[in-house]
């Protein structure tokens, strides 16, 4: 990690805590499990279900399965970047630079009317991927929020001393 100034030495950096938290570990496992489950579905049962759809629904299936896989690959990329931070393989600054290649807003699903034409299991995978995306986006906003400058700790008595000086006609210092 980059060297920190003495004034920052005692500070707890929230981003470091978040990437090392049990919550991140859970999110990572859930995300990777969803990627695997989706791949298995699309390569197996989903393929058979897609063949049974009419032409319009089949086109919607193809579009939504592509959006789903794109969304999940972007989320997996983000999760893997931040796992690398957790494992000490890269710094948060490096991950922040790399994450500019990850689009957490990519591949929003179609309308509810379109999704209703799809097999139930695909609808469920899409809904779960959207929930995962929302969780990752919230965590990303928290982890990569601009660092606030630590406020200088002022002498708590200074304002009172200044009032006393003013009251007795002396110049404030």
Rounded to the nearest angstrom, the gap between the alpha carbon of residue 69 and the centroid of all alpha carbons in its chain is: 17
- Distance (Å, whole) CA 42 – CA 65: 8
Tell me the per-residue pLDDT of 73-132, one tens digit each, with 9 for 90 and over.
999 999 999 999 888 899 888 888 888 888 888 677 888 888 999 999 999 999 999 999
CATH of segment(s) 13-167: 1.10.8.930
For the segment 162-171, what is each residue's pLDDT rounded down to a tens digit?
A: 877 777 776 5
- Three-class secondary structure assignment of the chain: CCCCCHHHCCCCCHHHHHHCCHHHHHHHHHHHHHHHHHHHHHHCHHHHHHHCCCHHHHHHHHHHHHHHHHHHHHHHHHHHHHHHHHCCCCCHHHHHHHHHHCCCCCCCCCCHHHHCCCCHHHHHHHHHHHHHHHHHHHHHHHHCCCCCCCCCCCCCCHHHHHHHHHHCCCCCC
Is the pTM of the predicted complex or chain greater than 0.75?
Answer: no
């Amino acid at each position: 990690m980059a060297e920190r100034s003495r004034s920052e030495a005692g500070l707890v950096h929230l981003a470091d805590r978040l990437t090392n938290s049990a919550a991140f570990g859970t999110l990572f496992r859930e995300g990777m499990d969803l990627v695997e489950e989706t791949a298995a579905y699309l390569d197996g049962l989903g393929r058979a279900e897609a063949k049974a759809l009419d032409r319009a629904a089949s086109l919607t299936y193809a579009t939504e399965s592509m959006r789903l896989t794109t969304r999940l690959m972007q989320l997996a990329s983000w999760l893997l970047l931040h796992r690398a931070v957790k494992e000490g393989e890269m710094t948060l600054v490096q991950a922040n630079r790399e994450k500019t290649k990850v689009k957490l807003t990519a591949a929003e699903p179609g309308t509810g009317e379109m999704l209703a034409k799809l097999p139930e299991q695909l609808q469920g995978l899409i809904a779960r991927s959207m929930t995962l995306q929302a969780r990752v986006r919230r965590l990303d906003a928290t982890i990569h929020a601009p660092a606030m400058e630590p406020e200088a700790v002022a002498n708590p008595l200074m304002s009172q001393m200044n009032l006393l000086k003013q009251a007795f006609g002396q110049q404030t210092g």
